[in-house]
Amino acid sequence: MKRISLTQHLIEEQRLHNTIPSELRLLIEVVSRACKTISHSVSKGALGDVLGAASTENVQGEIQKKLDIISNEILLQANEWGGHLAAMASEEMESFHPIPNRYPKGEYLLLFDPLDGSSNIDVNVTIGTIFSVLKAPEGMQEPSEQDFLQAGTKQVAAGYAVYGPQTMLVLTTGNGVNCFTLDREMGSWVMTQRDIKIPADTAEYAINASNARHWFPPVRRYVDELEQGKAGPRGKNFNMRWIASMVADVHRILNRGGIFMYPADARDPDKPGKLRLMYEANPMSLIIEQAGGAASDGHQRILSIQPTGLHQRVAVFLGSKNEVERVTGYHQVT
Ligand code: P6P
């Protein structure tokens, strides 16, 4: 495959599809540069005094890790001066972050989980950054939380950086999914996979099985069948993976198929799941669908959900299309 840079890809996409105006290209390049900085901080580990917990909690009531805060700051500072954004929102901040008056404002809204998989940071397991891009409503003057509450189908771009053995950037602007590997010597993102597609079938599933006693019947039935293997109704054996880092699990699924599940369960029937719609489920669902997969909350397409809150949670079943359709079907009959 011809190795091209992220910049060349974005310019070629603009020529081909006219879907990446210069402001959006600037936004994507600024975010990708911030992810390089985050990767650099993450890779220092104990040498950079970036490990361990901060003394604060985020809006989710979770103890923040130092790197959660560092990564959030990196994204805020990288994006606020460029004139491409009207506002930002983050898992780590209760309310949205308007662009300071000293900077020009643009027409895009950027949402992100600055460092996903934080429980893995201190034990050197893969983590990542997830981001979602929306257009600000026409004629918007002063941004409000309501302006962010757009269905996932309205995203104009979505992506993640995965900080693993390689640092990679996975991006969609609505015409397929492309992967870039960070060339640390050159400091540039180089395309290493073009138009990636997820196999419609799989023999691998991802769920936190320690919650099995709390699962509702449709999930119980689906996983039981997988566990019965060749002798069971599925007629084949399945493998299980759970990295407890959505970015890492999704990246594996994007590359070799699989189904990722974080369902609602009986621990808190009012809580529709753990993952957040706006800056985890929506961007990942767009990427998965653009790669030929599917993403549902058990009842409907995640991208069709009309948000009601910036930090609302949603149940997530995403990955190989035929498996997501099967488990979603069980929610209609079980
Ligand atoms: P559990 C990380 O905290 C995260 O938000 C996702 O990245 C990951 O898939 C999930 O939570 C792990 O949750 O309950 O298995 O620790």
pTM listed for this prediction: 0.97
Q: What is the mean pLDDT of the chain?
A: 95
Pick the CATH number of 204-332 from 3.20.20.150, 3.30.470.20, 3.40.50.10470, 3.40.190.80: 3.40.190.80
Per-residue pLDDT, 200: 94
Per-residue pLDDT, 173: 97
Per-residue pLDDT, 62: 79
Q: How far is the CA of 117 from the centre of ligand 1 (A)?
A: 6
Give the position of tokens 């060349």.
8
Q: Which residues contact 295 (CB under 8 A, 6 or more apart)?
A: 281, 284, 285, 288, 289, 301, 302, 303, 316, 317, 318, 319, 324
Per-residue pLDDT, 59: 77
CATH topology of domain 6-193: Fructose-1,6-Bisphosphatase; Chain A, domain 1 (3.30.540)
Q: Is the pLDDT of residue 54 over 90?
A: no
What are residue 220's phi and psi, to 5 degrees? -55, -45
Per-residue pLDDT, 45: 87
Residue 274 near ligand 1, beta carbon < 6 Å: yes
Residue 116 near ligand 1, beta carbon < 6 Å: yes
Per-residue pLDDT, 63: 79
- pLDDT average, residue stretch 211-232: 98
**Token pair listed for 123:** 């034990």
Query: Which one, of 214, 334, 327, lies nearest residue 267 by Cα?
Result: 214
Q: How far is the CA of 208 from the centre of ligand 1 (A)?
A: 9
Q: How far is the CA of 223 from the centre of ligand 1 (A)?
A: 19
Our CA dihedral for 276, 279, 285, 288, rounded to 10 degrees, sits at: -130
CA-closest residue to ligand 1 atom 10: 244
Start-end ranges of CATH 3.30.540.10 in the chain? 6-193
Per-residue pLDDT, 27: 98
Atom of ligand 1 nearest to the CA of 208: 15
Are the C-beta atoms of residues 172 and 12 closer than 8 Å to each other? no
Q: Is the pLDDT of residue 60 over 90?
A: no
Give, in order, the Cα–Cα distances in Å from 314 to each of 67, 91, 120, 261, 311. Answer: 25, 14, 22, 11, 10
Q: How far is the CA of 248 from the centre of ligand 1 (A)?
A: 11
Residue 276 near ligand 1, beta carbon < 6 Å: no
Q: Which of 90, 119, 251 to mutate to test the pocket of ligand 1 (most atoms within 8 A of CB)?
A: 119
Angle at 39 between CA 33 and CA 45, to 5 degrees: 150
Q: What percent of the chain has pLDDT over 90?
A: 89
Per-residue pLDDT, 55: 79
Q: Is the pLDDT of residue 214 over 90?
A: yes
Start-end ranges of CATH 3.40.190.80 in the chain? 204-332
CA-closest residue to ligand 1 atom 12: 244
Per-residue pLDDT, 123: 94
Residue 219's pLDDT band (cuts 50, 70, 90) = very high
Q: Is the pLDDT of residue 332 over 90?
A: yes
Give, in order, the Cα–Cα distances in Å from 263 to each of 109, 208, 215, 217. Answer: 28, 10, 8, 11
